[in-house]
Structure 1
Amino acid sequence: MAVLPSLVTVADLAALLGRTFTPQQELQAQALLDQASSVVRAYVRQDITRATTTDTFTMRRADPLLHRCGGVVTLPQRPVVDIASVEVNGTATSDWWQDGSDLLVRAWSWDQPPAAHRAPQVTVTYTHGWDPVPGDIQAIVMQATNRVIVNPSGIRSETVGGESVTYLIPAVGEYLGVLLSRTEQKVLDRYRLTAASVRVRDC
């Protein structure tokens, strides 16, 4: 599987912070941006960046009240920009159409038992993701990265009754590091995948 690029560049982060990184700081910033990008992608279950992927999925029967077709596959990576090719059980077909993230195969005769227990396998090559990356996603990646740059140990100090007290967690009760706050998760929820087709394999 190809390594996905960071959702934010080091140059973007430096511009936000209004500073110039040394070569060593650039390496640290890049590593943190990579981590933050991975955390965001894991939360939303999306690659986010524009890419073309070939995957194989298990077709499911269409709901006759919603779709008049032979079967449906829901493509997990979004938004779906273009579908280049479709194969059903190894046979190329152009008898399909797209409805949002759903690929609908117009006509397909499902096998009778016992072969009916083996649902058709659909191989799809499609382009998906955003170009450019949405600004709110980039902002969250930079926030998560900057938390570690500014306070790598997660230390918070305050003075109580004339005594200095130091904590390893912030006032919200958790040391976030390159993890996501609840507020950041709420922002990302609009991009999060909550249901998807069964993914069989990468091609």
Structure 2
Amino acid sequence: MAVLPSLATVADLAALLGRTFTTDQEQQAQALLDQASSVVRGYIRQDITQATTTDTFTMRRVDPVLHRCSGMVTLPQRPIVDVLNVSVDSAATSDWWQDGSDILVRGWTWDAPSAAHRPPQVTVTYTHGWDPVPGDIQAIVIQAANRVLVNPSQIRSEAVGGETVTYLIPSSGEALGVLLSKTEMRVLDRYRRTAGSMQVRSH
């Protein structure tokens, strides 16, 4: 599986802080951005970055009258930019159409081999995700990385040069690190995938 890029860059983080990083600091910042990107992707259940993927799914039965097709699969990665190819049990087909995140296959007989023994396997090549990454997602990744960079010990306050510096810590007192706050989760909820077809394998 390909390694997904960070959802924000070291340059973005440096610009937020108004500073120039040393080589060691750049490596630390990149590691934090990678971690924060993974956390955000895990919460949203989306790759987010635009890419083209080939995945195989198990077709599910539908009401042929209501849906005007024999079966469908739901593509998990969103938004869907383009569907390039569809095949059923390794046989390419053009007898399908897209309805939102669903691929509906029209001419399939469920009592014919191999559907008589197991559900058909539908392989779809499609382009999905955002380019560029939405600004609110990018901002949350930068915030999460910045929390650790400026306050690695996750303390509430400390004395610096005779003055007390107070860091932004959630009212709950939890030390978030690169994890998400409840407010950040609420912002990300608009992108979150809550249901979809089970992925069988990726190519």
Give your verdict on TM over 0.5: yes
1:18 has 2:24 as partner: no
Q: Residue 110 of structure 2 corresponds to which residue in structure 1?
A: 110
Q: What TM-score, normalized to structure 1?
A: 0.90
Aligned length: 196
The match for 2:87 is 87
RMSD over aligned Cα, in angstroms? 2.2
| Alignment-mate amino acid for residue 100 of structure 1 | G
Normalised TM-score (structure 2):
0.90
**Partner of 1:116: helix, strand, or coil?**
coil
Distance apart, 1:39 and its partner CA: 0.3
8 Å CA contact retained: 2:145, 2:178: yes
Q: Is the 8 A contact 1:62 1:70 kept in 2?
A: yes
2:54 touches 2:124 (CA, 8 Å); kept in 1? yes
Alpha-carbon distance in 1 for matches of 2:151, 2:179: 14
Asked whether 1:153 is paired with 2:157, we answer no
Give the C-alpha shift of residue 61 in structure 1: 1.3
Q: Which residue of 1 aligns with 2:52?
A: 52
SS at match of 1:148: helix
Provide, for residues 5-25 of structure 1, a one-character-per-residue CA deviation record: whole Å limited to 9, x for no partner: 000011111112211111111
| Structure 1 counterpart of 2:119 | 119
State whether residues 64 and 70 of structure 2, in contact with CA within 8 Å, keep that contact through their aligned partners in structure 1.
no
Instruction: Tell me the distance in 1 between the aligned counterparts of 2:80 and 2:43.
Output: 19
Q: CA deviation at 1:116?
A: 3.5
Displacement of 1:62 after TM fit?
Answer: 2.1
In the alignment, is the contact (CA less than 8 A) between 1:156 and 1:170 conserved in 2?
A: no
Aligned residue type for 1:80: I
Matched, 1:201 2:201: yes
Distance 2:17 2:114 in 1: 63
Deviations 1:68-118 (A, max 9, x none): 111110000001111111110110001111111111112211126995351
**Runs of 5+ unmatched residues, structure 1:** 159-163
3-state SS in 2 of match to 1:110: coil
Indicate the percent of aligned positions where both proteins have the same amino acid.
Answer: 78
CA deviations over 1:13-72 (Å, ceiling 9, x no partner): 111221111111111000000000000000011000000101100001124464111111
Alpha-carbon spacing, 1:128–1:10, altered in 2? closer, same or farther (3 Å): same
8 Å contact kept, 2:81–2:126: yes
Contact 1:155-1:170 within 8 A present in 2 as well = no
List per-residue Cα deviations over 1:105-141 (Å, max 9, x = no partner): 1221112699535111000111000000000000100
> Do the aligned residues in 2 keep the contact of 1:9 with 1:30 (CA within 8 Å)?
yes
Assess if the C-alpha contact under 8 Å between 2:41 and 2:48 holds in 1: yes
Letter in 2 for 1:59: M
Q: Select between 193-202 and 64-73 the one with higher mean Cα deviation.
A: 64-73
In structure 1, C-alpha distance between the alignment counterparts of 2:184 and 2:144, rounded to whole Å: 9
Aligned-pair CA distance for 1:173: 2.4
